[in-house]
Structure 1
Amino acid sequence: MSDSSNAALADAPSDVAAVISRLYVYPVKSCAGVQVEQAILLDTGLEFDRAWMVVDGQGSFLTQRELPRMALIKPQLKHFEMILRAPGMLALHIALDQVEAPARVTLWKDEVAAYDMGPLAAQWFTDFLGVPARLVRFDPEHKRISSLHWTDGIEALNQFNDGYPVLVISEASLLQFNAKLAAQGFAAVGMERFRPNIVLGDASQGLELMPHDEDRLDLLQIATEQGPVRLKPVKPCPRCPIPNIDPATALSSPEVGDLLQGYRQDARVGGAVTFGMNAIVLQGIDHLLRVGQSVGASYHFD
């Protein structure tokens, strides 16, 4: 990153001064995430995020909504392979640079081009999940675009994400949520429940983040060694029952969803319960995001 780019970003007026406190990548959609210290930012989000997906015998995507045991499948990213582990199973090794036969799969209402990862992976997922299942990888030549309504016409690309490249949540939002859980006599939950990519924490010297500040921010500007990164929050993230699922046990904790229902109904998405903001990439493709990098942002006012 040039000195002039650093200076321009540092001098830009901000209502919020934060840092990246955590980064998460979810290599296989709806399986466990991987907390990382750094990640390359692509136009589809963080590198390897939702690059793979599990589908049923008809090619339709599978998630923790129907199969909570998927939470127990833990990926590990190595230099040349992804290693998948699950209770009672031998490790499954997936080469990062190999695929098998072309496939067509369904994700929500989208028909998506993909590559089947072969019979060994299919048998592994079938044995652990107890239903016919296959592992597929996103075809990078396929163009899957976020809703233009929410992106104001900007073509934001995705792999197997639900609909947007990056999910942003603040530490302050989780702290408030856990305080509310504690007030009702329940144990705190981890950030893993909410499956963010970028978590924002307070800078050592800066304006303190308030709970759900991410809902109100315009552009997130991140200082990286290669130059500034600009992310635009575009849509509150509606929540399904997945945050109820304890990632350590795959058991449901309905108090999580019940509490969200009590204070997080969002008129912007028709009253759905939301937690976190979906964001798109405006600038900084191929830049390296790291934990500890400075984030500046201003509030968005309609």
Structure 2
Amino acid sequence: MDNPPFISEIYIYPIKSLGGINCQSARAEEMGFENDRRWMLIDENNQFISQREHPILSQFQPQISDGKIEITYQGKKNTFFISESINSPISVPVWDDQSEVFEVNKTISDWFSECLGFTCKLVKIIEIGDRKHKSKALNVTFNVSLADGYPYLLVGSESLDHLNKKLEEKITVARFRPNIVINTTLAHEEDHFGIIKIGDVTFRNVKPCGRCIMVNNDPMKSVIAKEPLKTLSKYRKVDNSVLFGTNLVCIEKGIVSVGDILSF
């Protein structure tokens, strides 16, 4: 390959459906990047909360420093330790999977409840194996965190450029909440990757990612519109799914960094 793809951006999303953190490097683990979607908000019925019903969640911005996560929302801030939790397990569904999680602390749960206007808890997944997800595509069961399905989402730059040529209002890759963005030359070439090596880290491509209405939420405004899902559905619909980006699992752990080249 004359111009092999390389990593141009890395993101983690510590709390499911909240804002992400742009990283220069990240530790790839079985359940996802370190500290990626290990936390989420649940309601009074122990159902997870997402931008699908609450687009305002995109306005909560995390930062990680000194073993703590600080959340900023409309000028308000609150902090909790990465390591802390209340030792009382809660069983929650994440789509078709059951997961065992633990509330972080009452103070941070009350803070989120006050900000959102309804009662909720901030919970975390702790142990590998506390949530398992079976891949129908591979007929293999994986240990995952609190992402919708798979631990990693990869998007190629040309896929976004190709979409933006069709849109009246251009969008950024933030709409798709990728973990890894790579510099590519062909739109959607990432769909067809198999085993991906990045330094000492090895990923396996599972399947292209089916997208939902969440990609229509502008994370800067928290307003759900019709695009880009409407346009994507015209040329990226397969069966009942609209595809953009591809899902990965990590089979050899290690550090990946911006600028790293992919090999196959």
Q: TM-score, normalised by structure 1?
A: 0.83
Alignment partners' CA distance in 2, 1:222 and 1:88:
39
**Deviation of residue 83 (structure 1)?**
0.4
Counterpart of 1:196, as a letter, is P
SS at match of 1:70: helix
**Match of residue 250, structure 1, among 222, 232, 246:** 222
Root mean square deviation of aligned Cα: 1.5
Q: Is the 8 A contact 2:30 2:143 kept in 1?
A: yes
Identity %: 29
Q: Is the 8 A contact 1:156 1:281 kept in 2?
A: no
Q: Which residue of 1 aligns with 2:7?
A: 20
Alignment partners' CA distance in 1, 2:242 and 2:135:
22
SS at match of 1:176: helix
**Deviation of residue 111 (structure 1)?**
2.3
Alignment partners' CA distance in 1, 2:108 and 2:96:
25
Q: Which residue of 2 aligns with 1:281?
A: 250
SS at match of 2:166: helix
The runs of at least 4 consecutive aligned structure 1 residues that moved more than 6 Å come to: none
**Deviation of residue 149 (structure 1)?**
2.5
Alignment partners' CA distance in 1, 2:226 and 2:136:
32
Q: Is the 8 A contact 2:84 2:105 kept in 1?
A: no
Q: Is the 8 A contact 2:128 2:144 kept in 1?
A: no
**Match of residue 212, structure 1, among 188, 201, 219:** 188
Q: Is the 8 A contact 1:23 1:35 kept in 2?
A: yes
Distance 1:65 1:258, change over 3 A: same
1:256-284 deviations in Å (ceiling 9; x for gaps): 11111111102xxx33101011011122x
1:40-69 deviations in Å (ceiling 9; x for gaps): 111111101101000001111000001011
Q: Which has the higher helix share?
A: 1
Q: Which residue of 2 aligns with 1:163?
A: 149
Q: Which has the higher strand share?
A: 2
Alignment partners' CA distance in 2, 1:24 and 1:96:
18
SS at match of 2:146: coil
Q: Is the 8 A contact 1:27 1:50 kept in 2?
A: yes
Counterpart of 2:263, as a letter, is G
| Equivalent residues, number | 263
- Unmatched tracts of structure 1, length 5 or more: 1-13, 203-208, 298-302
1:221 aligns with 2:197: yes
Alignment partners' CA distance in 2, 1:158 and 1:108:
13
Counterpart of 1:87, as a letter, is Q
Distance 1:15 1:54, change over 3 A: farther
Q: Is the 8 A contact 1:113 1:142 kept in 2?
A: no
Counterpart of 1:295, as a letter, is L
Q: Is the 8 A contact 2:70 2:79 kept in 1?
A: yes
SS at match of 1:281: strand
1:182-219 deviations in Å (ceiling 9; x for gaps): xxxx22111110011011114xxxxxx20100111111
